[in-house]
Amino acid sequence: MHGKILVIAGSDSGGGAGIQADLKTINNLGAYATTAITALTAQNSQAVKEILPISIDFITTQITTICSDISIDSIKIGMVYNFNILNEIIIILRKLLPDTPIILDPVMIATSGAALAQTDLESLNILRSNIISNCYLITPNIAEAKVISNMEITNLNEMINAGKYMQKLGAKNILIKGSHIDSSEINDVLIMQDSHIIFESKRIKHNNNHGSGCSLASAIATFIAQKAPLEQAVANARTYVYKAIEHAIIPGNGNGTLNHCLTKISAV
């Protein structure tokens, strides 16, 4: 095992996304995952039925207990239902692990369309003013980037402009995922301090990609923990997720999910 990652995210009872996808990703890329659960969800491949948020006190206990025993190389944060709680988590992490890179996947909406985070103005202001500036990398999809930047995003140039705006909010590095733009290719844009990189891939012609955002952020966190430079970590993670989507599995009657285990060796 190379690299130890602290994953802070919600549980997906259907097994396709959330902590379940994070664990499969990290394990199959040769690293060790610890977890702090932020919410329990009752969901399957078709719908999210119910969300039970975990109290900040117990989230804190999970994090402090892990950090008292296990050295952490990177942190991945996924679904946190309330941005006030996410802000508290960030404060705790900066005290306990001030130099450990945080990769934030700002999960807001499930594949099924269900809301997974509160996005009222007060919550968004907390996200914009304090949370993203304390992260090494944020990985919004188009819908999430629109909410954070309050900008329309319909093409590659608008993705880049939204990323530059997030930099003005204090974001260090931003990976905007372009799969929600209707085209035959998918362009993801990595915006860094003085440059940006465009990653291109052909669109896979099916929708069996439940958990792809969770898996991508966890894969990046894994490669960062394994000391890869950011650009290489993103490239490796995209390769892993692309192959896992290519060979997706369909466990239920809704969208299928990634086949994490099939790509165990080839992506690393």
Region 173-186 average pLDDT: 82
Share of the chain above pLDDT 70, in %: 92
pLDDT digits (tens, 9 = 90+) for 226-268: 999 999 999 999 999 999 999 889 999 988 899 998 655 444 4
Give the pLDDT of residue 93.
98
Give the pLDDT of residue 97.
98
Of 224 and 185, the structure prediction assigns the larger pLDDT to: 224
* Whether residue 117 has pLDDT greater than 70: no
CATH number of this structure's domain 4-120+127-134+205-263: 3.40.1190.20
Burial class (CB in 10 A: 0-12, 13-18, 19+), 102: buried
Q: Where are the domains of the chain?
A: 4-120+127-134+205-263
pLDDT digits (tens, 9 = 90+) for 61-114: 999 999 999 999 999 999 998 889 999 999 999 999 999 999 999 988 665 555
Taking the CB of residue 34, how many other CB atoms lie within 10 A of it? 20
For tokens 């989230």, the residue is 59
Give the pLDDT of residue 242.
94
Q: Which residues contact 195 (CB under 8 A, 6 or more apart)?
A: none
DSSP for 158-188, please give it. Answer: HHHHHHHHHHHTT-S-EEEB-TTS-SSEEEE
